[in-house]
Amino acid sequence: MNTFPKWRLDGNLSKTFQVTETVSAQLRIDATNIFNHPTPGSGNTTDPVGLTNAGSSFQDNFGQLTTKSGNRTFQAKLRITF
C-alpha cells in the first residue's frame, strides 16, 4: 500500500570569528525539518479483531492516516580553537 511521500529540508549556518591571532570561535546552528512539514504515519493496515468479523471497525478504518510525526528542531554549537 503506497502512502504520501516523506520529505524534509535540513540545513545549517556557521560563522567563524577570529578572536586573536591564534584563537578563533565558530558558531554553528543546525536545523532539521526547516519548513516544519509533518510526516503522515502509515495507513491502518492491521486487523485488530480478525478479518472474519464482518462488522468490525477494521473495515471502517482501513487505510486511514491517524498519526503524524516530525517537528522543527534546532541545535547550536560553539567551538573554540586555540
Q: How many angstroms separate the CA atoms of 37 and 75, rounded?
A: 18
pLDDT at 66: 73
> What pLDDT shows up at residue 36?
86
pLDDT, one tens digit for every residue, the chain (82 residues): 566 667 789 999 999 999 999 999 999 999 999 988 877 776 666 655 555 555 555 556 666 777 777 789 999 999 999 9
In Å, how far are 27, 30, 82 from 13, measured between CA atoms? 8, 7, 22
- Grid cell 567551538 in the structure block, residue: 79
